[in-house]
Chain A
Amino acid sequence: MIGGPVGFIEFLHEAFAWLAIGLEIAGLIVCIRYLRLSSAMFLLVLAFAGFAGASVASRVLTYALRMQGLPDELIPGLFAVTHLVNVAATAALVVGLYAVFRDLRERFHFVREVHEGRREP
C-alpha cells in the first residue's frame, strides 16, 4: 500500500524499475526484428538480453530480500553478479553499435564506389 510521501517515492522507484525492464525487452525485440541488417547485430541482441536478465534478477532478489527468502550470505554475491552482467551488457551494447555502424558505413561506401564506377558491381 502507498502510505505517505516515502511510500509514494518507493512506489515510483518500483514503477520505474519495471518500466526499465519493459524498455529493455522492447530494445531486445527491435534488435531481433532488424537482426538481418548486419552480422554484428547479435551483439546488440545479447546486450539487451543481458540488461533485461540482470534487471529481472535484481527485482527478484529485491523481493526475496524483503521476504527473507534467501540466505543472507548469498545476497551480496548475487547482486554483484547482476551488476557484472549489467556492466558486460553495456560493453556489448557499445561494441555492438560500433560494429554495426562500421559495417553499414562500409556497405554504403561500397555501393557509392560502384555507382561512381570506381569498383566493379
Chain B
Amino acid sequence: MSTIPLASLLSVVAIAQYPIQFAAVAVGLVVSLRYRRLSDKMWLVAAAFAALCALAGVQFVVTFLALLFPMFLMNDSIATSIAGYAAYCAPMAAPYAWICLIVGLTLVWRDLSGRLSGLRELLAELRQESSGASL
C-alpha cells in the first residue's frame, strides 16, 4: 500500500470516529431507557449514557465545524472560544460520566443478581411442589 492511500485512510478513521462514537452512545442511551424498568438503579446508567452522548456530540460538532470551516478555530470570536473550551474540557468531564456508568452497572448487576437468585429458589420450590403433587 502506498503512503497516500494510507494517510487518507487514517484521516478518514480520525474524522469518522466521532459520528460513529456519537451514534453508538446514543443507541446506548436508547437501550438503557428502553430497559429502565429492569432495576431502580437504571437511571444511573441512563444518566451516564446521556452525559457520554453530550460529550461525544460536542466533539462531533467541533470536528464538523473545523472541517466545514477551516478558519473557524482560528477566528477570535466568542463562538470559537466556546467551541475550543468545549473540545478541550470534554476529556476532563468524561471520567464523571464513566464513574456514573460503572457505579450504575455495579448496582444494577447486584440488584438483578440478588433478584435472580431469589427467583431461582422460588422456581425450585415450585418444581418440588409440582413433582410432589404429581406423586
Contacts and interface: CB of A to CB of B under 8 A. Distances in A.
Interface of A: 12-13, 16-17, 19-20, 23-24, 26-27, 30-31, 33-34, 37, 73, 76-77, 79-80, 83-84, 86-87, 90-91, 93-94, 97-98, 101-102, 104-105, 107-108, 111, 114-115, 120-121
Contact of A23 (B98, B115, B123, B127): B98
Nearest to B26: A94
A30 B102 contact: yes
Contact of B116 (A37, A76, A79): A37
B24 A94 contact: yes
B28 A27 contact: no
18 contacts: A20-B98, A24-B98, A27-B101, A27-B105, A30-B106, A76-B10, A80-B10, A83-B13, A84-B17, A86-B17, A87-B17, A97-B32, A97-B45, A105-B35, A107-B116, A108-B119, A114-B123, A114-B126
What is the interface of chain B mostly: helix, strand, loop, or mixed?
Answer: helix
Contacts of B4: none
A30 B92 CA distance: 23
The interface residues of chain A, by DSSP majority, are classed as: helix
Contact of A94 (B28, B95, B105, B115): B28
A91 B24 CA distance: 6
Interface of B: 3, 6-7, 9-10, 13-14, 17, 20-21, 24-25, 27-28, 31-32, 34-35, 38, 45, 91-92, 94-95, 98-99, 101-102, 105-106, 109-110, 112-113, 115-116, 119, 122-123, 126-127, 130
A97 B28 contact: yes
